[in-house]
Amino acid sequence: IGGDPMHFEEFGAEVEFVMGEGDEAETYVITETTWVYVPAGLLHCPLEFKKVDKPIMFGHIMFAPTFESTIMGKKPF
pTM score: 0.76
Q: Are 21 and 75 contacting, i.e. CB atoms less than 8 angstroms apart?
A: no
Higher-confidence residue of 61 and 44: namely 44
Q: For 36-64, what is the mean pLDDT? A: 89
The mean pLDDT value of the chain amounts to: 88
Higher pLDDT, 23 or 75: 23
The Cα-based distances of 68 to 10, 19, 20, 34, 76 in angstroms read 33, 18, 18, 24, 7
